Amino acid sequence: MDISVVTIVKQRQNALYNLIKGIKHSTHLPAELIIVHMNEPIYQVPKLPIPIRQITCSAEGHLPLAEARNLAMRSASSEYVVFLDVDCIPSNNLIGIYKNAFLDRDILWSGRVRYLDEAAMRHVSLWERMHGLSNPDPIREHLESFSYELFWSLNFGCSKRIFDTIGGFDENFSGYGAEDTDFSFSARAAGVCSGTSNAMAYHQHHPNYSPPLNHFADIIRNAEQFRKKWGTWPMEGWLNQFEDMQLLIRGDDQLQVIRYPDRSEIAAAMRS
């Protein structure tokens, strides 16, 4: 069974190099690696003993997350595809575990993720002790299986048949937020079963915004799109935080933006 690994990237060059290094250390190599660059040019990456194909996905005014994932799937030569976030380093047995999962059932599979903090990323024994240096996801740690609501696009896999049955990622979601939850809800609506495997990936530390005020406009737009489609609000934690900051008022079916966050508020939300 051939498996393609795909990832999408923008301005995460070092993280991408670590993902490639993780693949190089795999006990089961995939058939290929597909890299989709979003709104950025292709650049040289480390070589692997498998083909690496790099393509671009450009969109004016937003980060084309949904479009890039759909392009990655269309570009994969294998029937079975593993999606890895560019910040994720695959464990050396991730591909082998996914292969066994695909052989067992043709469904939507979620892998597991542990987090590497800043100190772990600098540790001299990072590559030998990645599991011990990482922390489990606090929400999913003790769950045998993830619900559709807890699906994440950091580490998942499926066949092209399952992806087409789901309908791919909805490109009406523009930019950051809710497009992966929408994907899993679409899977449930299409009658696609989901499963959770022990295929582990390690998420690399990087500065981020909490709450993600830098994506405020995208989150508002996508939250309203999700509400219209599914009748429930996604990303409620972030929406509640935005409301507490008096940035918006949440009604039953729409969000009223009072004001947009200013530069100082966005800067204050940065977590190193």
- pLDDT tens digits along 204-262: 998 889 999 999 999 999 999 999 999 999 999 999 999 999 999 998 888 999 999 99
Residue 121: its pLDDT value, please? Answer: 96
Predicted pLDDT of residue 123: 96
Q: Are strands 88-90 and 255-257 parallel, antiparallel or unpaired?
A: unpaired
Domains of the chain with CATH codes: 3-206 (3.90.550.10), 209-271 (no CATH)
State yes or no: pLDDT of 194 exceeds 80: yes
Picking from 108, 111, 67, 107, the residue whose alpha carbon sits closest to that of residue 89 is 111
Contact 180, 204 (CB under 8 A): no
For range 56-65, the mean pLDDT: 92
Q: Is the pLDDT of residue 28 over 80?
A: yes
State the pLDDT confidence band at 175, using cuts at 50, 70 and 90: confident
**pLDDT score, position 192:** 98
Phi, psi of 182 (to 5 degrees): -60, -40
How far is residue 148 from each of residues 83, 187, 264, measured CA to CA in Å? 17, 8, 36
| pLDDT at position 218 | 94
Q: With a cut of 90, say whether residue 272 has pLDDT above it.
A: no
